[in-house]
Amino acid sequence: MGMTGEGFPAITTRRDAVVAWGQKNSLWPMPFGTACCAIEFMGVAASVFDISRFGAELVRFSPRQADLLLVAGTVTFKQAPILRQIYEQMCEPKWVISMGVCASAGGFYNNYCTVQGIDQVVPVDVYISGCPPRPEAILQAVLKLQDKIDRPQAVPPAQFKVKEPQFDY
């Protein structure tokens, strides 16, 4: 953006830049909380850490009203079709944060019933490590995502790897 002279009340910019600026500063998260990471997210939303400083405080519990899916917790194979359906119900543009090691890689649940990373079900933009992550880590993930919305060419695209066996919801 560039400001013109003092006497001329207008700014020049690109449309993409304005839209991205609006999107990144008003993320509406939908928490898909299945385990203790969701409790940690409550701490992030509350006043001490205060996710509203980054414009992402308006937590919606309907996927139709949200553009940031925050998967917090262990996702089982029984839960995977539900997660996929919720992701598909969200309007474009939409982003996904995989919060905690269980959502990102299955965590220590290396067993028959846990999905080993939600990137096998939905595309993921930002992963957060930790069990559970510190609130600062979640805020950093929001900042990373804002960076990604602002400069899509500067960061890697969403991870989505369908492993064996193939599935079709």
Would you say 79 and 106 are in contact if contact means Cβ atoms under 8 Å apart?
no
For another protein, give the closer residue by CB, 37 or 115. 115
Check residue 26 for interaction with another protein (CB under 8 A).
no
Check residue 143 for interaction with another protein (CB under 8 A).
no
Burial of 110 (0-12, 13-18, 19+ CB in 10 A): exposed
Check residue 6 for interaction with another protein (CB under 8 A).
no
Query: Percentages helix, strand, coil for the chain, rounded to the nearest 5?
Result: 35, 15, 50
What's the closest the beta carbon of residue 31 comes to another protein, in angstroms? 19
For another protein, give the closer residue by CB, 116 or 140. 116
What's the closest the beta carbon of residue 111 comes to another protein, in angstroms? 6
Question: Largest Cα–Cα distance in the chain?
Answer: 68
For another protein, give the closer residue by CB, 114 or 146. 114
Check residue 160 for interaction with another protein (CB under 8 A).
no
Closest CA to 116 of 102, 127, 129, 126: 102
Check residue 153 for interaction with another protein (CB under 8 A).
no
Please, which residues bridge with residue 151 across strands? none
Residues 53-92 that bind another protein (CB under 8 A): 77-78, 80-82, 85
